[in-house]
Structures are given as C-alpha cells and as structure tokens.
Amino acid sequence: MAKMNATTISAASPAASSPSLSGLEEPKAQAISAGAAQPASTEPIDTDYPLTPVPFSARKSGASIAVVLLGFTIFAPTLMAGASVGAAFRFSDFLLLLLIGSAVLGTYVAAIGFLGSRTGLTTVVMSRFSFGNKGSKFVSLLLGGTQVGWYGVAVGTVGEMTALALGWESWWAPAAVMIVISTLMALTALYGYEGMYWVSLISTPLILMLAVWITWLGFNEVGGWSGMFTLQPASSMTWSVAVTTIVGTFSSAGTQAANWTRFARSGKSAVTGCIIGFILGNGAMVFFGAVAALAFGEADFVKLLVGMGLGAVAIFFLVGNFWKSNADGAYAFGVAGAEMFDYPSKAPFIVGGATLGTILALTGVQGHIVGYLALLGIAIPPLGGVIIGDWIARWRKGQPAVSHVGVGVRWQGFVPYILGTLLAWYTNNAGIGIAPLNGIIAAMALAWFATKLFPDATDRAVASGEAQIVAPYAR
C-alpha cells in the first residue's frame, strides 16, 4: 500500500482549532492529515476508523458518548462482582471500599478517555507511540484477550442462568443458548457504533430495572438501611483484593474507553461521559449486587437470583444487557485485532474473538470471575499508566502521524509497564495501599522519566522536522 503525504497541520496553526479548516470534514481528508496508509481499493474500508483518527465530521455529541459508556458499564457481571465483594464485608466497610474503588477507576478511565478525544485514536493505536509499532501488538493481544474473557463470562452466565431457571439438566441445551446469543452479540458489534448505541437505549433500562428490583428485595429482606448495617458478612475477602476486584470490573474495558471517546467532540464531553459511565454507572451496579448478596447471604450471583425466585424473570433482563455489553466487548477486541495485524476492518477479529469467547463459556469460565477480576486489576491499569505518562511527557500539544512512529519495540514503555505490574502484584498480595493505583502511578511516573531521559527515533524525527505535529482533534 502506498503511503500518503506526511505533511500535516502544525499545532501552532490557528486553523488547527477550527473543525472547518483542519482537514477533518471528510474521512478521506482525515486519512491524509494522519499520514496513514490508504487502503487499496480491493480491501474493505471500515467506517468506524479502527486504525486512523476519527474525523470531526464523524464525531458524536456528549450525550451520545455518555449513553454508550453508561450502557457499557451497566453490566450484569458487575452485579456479580458486587455480590462477591458485598457478601464478604459489613455494609459500612463495603460502602467505603466502593467509594475508593470507584474513584480510582473513574479517574483513571477519564484520563484515558480524554486522550482518546484529543488524538481521535483507539487505545491500541495510541499505544504505538508508547510501546512501538511492534510492541503495540502486545497491547492489542492483552486488551483484546481480556475482552474475549469477559465475552465468555457473559455468554456462559446466560446459558447457566437459563439452565437453572428452566430446570435443564442436559449439557447441550444451555450450550445451544450460548451459541445463539453469542451470534446475535457478534452481529451487533459488526454493525458498529450505531448498533451499540441503539441496543444501549433498550438494554440499559432493562438491567437497571433488575438491579433496582433486587436491591429493593434486599433492603426489604433485612428491614431497610438500619437492618443492612447490622448484617454480618457471609464470606471473607481482604480489603486489598476487594478494591482490586472493584477496579478490575472495568479496568480492561476502561483502558479501552478511548475506543468510544475518540468520537467525542471535546475532551470535556469525553471526561463527562467517562465519569457518568465508570463512577456512577459502574459504582451503582457494584452497589446493587452487594446489597442483594449481603441481604440474602449468597455471593454467587446466579444462585442468588434463583434463590430469590427471579430466575426466569431475570433471564429477560439479563439477556438484553449481556447483549449490549458483549457487543461492546466484541467491538473492542475487533479493533484490537485490526491494529495488531494492520488490517482495515475489524470484522474477522470480531468473528474470531466471539468464537473463542463462546468456547470459553462452554468450558465454564464464568465460575472463576473473582480471580479473573483480581488479575485484570493488577495487569491492566499499569498499561494505561504508561500511555498517560508518555502522553504528558511528549504529546500534550499534539502527536506526529501514526505512520511516523519510528520504533519497533519501545523499551521506555515496556520497562515501566513491567515494573508497575510487579509493584501492583506485590502490594496486592501484601495488602499495601491500593494495588491498581500503585501500578498506575508507578508506570506513569517511570514512563515520563524514561521518555524525558531517553528520546527515541520518533522524538528525533519531530525535532528535526521530518515528522510534523498533528494538531489535537479535540480540546
């Protein structure tokens, strides 16, 4: 494929801040300004821009961004995570844990979301600047792989819930349900942003109805707020693991918030959407699941719903929510695959990831959610910390075109990531501080220092004028 002209708009140009003059009015012009490779006419072109910045003409309103992110975080497995945490603590302790975990997750995701709006790029494409052209493949594999795992958790939960509610004892009946629902979810992701937006409008109210319902039943069971504060936990969990679990509910997806906020028209609307989705939405779902679990003394969410007599009714509410959230997840591993293989369409990777997620569901991955969340809370946040630290050090006024990243594997990104992850793992096991926050801060600081002290080929190209700066796509 031939490379387009790399000449771009200077960040200092007055035209850079004007959408009508910035060359962003049409997708074709956007590809030129980004210095991206133009696909040959025989290759599919994905209008969701998986490899290039989203042009201003394709940007969405702040309300639209908030709807998509809220629909993303109003996620039934978050109820499951809330149930596992809530059943292990007194209610007063849980409320403090929820506040801490939501604040860490929300602040972290808002920072990633802001970068998405500024650059117009997905998280995995942004990672090329921090980890290098070849190093970013690791990021694609890690983030895409975690979404495949979440996909399997959701599909497996639907099948398990259906089998318990309807009294099925055979293996093939719930397996058939998993395959059918997985197919519908993948088709929605293939349709893209608009498909996820409309499913959000339908599915979000449904799961909120279920969440509020089980919360009301929980408070009614124990006699209201006063009764809730008198309950003793039915299981045990350390504070460190609990906070890591709360952050882990959306650490992977939150790191990929840029996949959606790159459609935002301003950094402010991106940050607002992230706060609405990842502090209010995610925090509320953890709270709802915890109240029901603590009230009924059951940490297993599927057994909890069946024990509350909501099995058959809950299926109706859950399927719509899982559909939306898994469509988001499939979209995420689709764009990750597109970046990993430099392919201009996300479609084959959505199909492949959905197939693998369904296989995981058939093997019972949903039964290991707490361990999975703890792993995500340790391994994923330092990744975002590196991207944030690198951006602060180099790209606050704009970045060169992605095609001008001149490093294959950038050690200035990998070393901070590895050290940040090791620190998060150690502090989680030792119960020191907040493990995800420890990992984020360490990775961010180390990435900043490494970038400042050891400029790479991309920095030298910018300094020499060989690679000009692309003006921020949003402010």
Q: Looking at residue 233, which CATH number applies to its domain?
A: 1.10.4160.10
| φ, ψ (nearest 5 deg) of residue 37 | -70, 135
Residues counted in the chain: 475
| φ, ψ (nearest 5 deg) of residue 470 | -90, 130
d(CA 110, CA 192): 23
Residue 373 in domain:
yes
Intra-chain end-to-end CA distance of the chain, in Å:
32
Residue 51 in domain:
no
Residue 404 in domain:
no
Residue 383 in domain:
no
The predicted structure's pLDDT at residue 246: 86
Residue 141 in domain:
yes
The predicted structure's pLDDT at residue 127: 93
Residue 303 in domain:
yes
Spell out the residues 6+ positions from residue 429 whose beta carbon is closer than 8 angstroms to its own. none
Please choose, from the candidates 41, 75, 38, the residue with its C-alpha nearest in 3D space to the C-alpha of residue 154: 75
d(CA 328, CA 260): 10
CB distance 121 to 303 below 8 Å: no
Residue 157 in domain:
yes
d(CA 60, CA 68): 11
Query: 78 is in which domain, residue-wise?
Result: 56-377
Q: How many domains does the chain have?
A: 1
d(CA 139, CA 176): 33
- The pTM is what? 0.76
Spell out the per-residue pLDDT of the chain, length 475, in tens.
333 333 333 333 333 333 333 333 333 333 333 334 444 444 444 567 777 888 888 888 888 888 888 877 777 778 878 888 988 999 999 999 999 988 888 899 999 999 999 998 989 889 999 999 999 989 888 887 787 887 888 888 888 878 877 778 788 888 998 999 898 888 878 876 666 666 667 777 777 888 888 899 999 999 999 999 999 888 888 888 888 888 887 787 788 889 889 999 888 999 998 988 888 888 888 999 899 899 988 877 777 877 777 767 777 777 777 777 788 778 777 877 776 787 878 888 889 989 999 998 998 877 777 677 788 889 999 999 999 999 999 998 888 888 888 889 999 999 999 999 999 999 988 888 888 899 999 999 999 999 999 999 999 988 888 888 887 776 6
Residue 4 in domain:
no
Q: What is the pLDDT of residues 279-320, one digit of tens each?
A: 888 888 899 989 989 998 887 777 787 777 776 777 777 777
The predicted structure's pLDDT at residue 21: 31
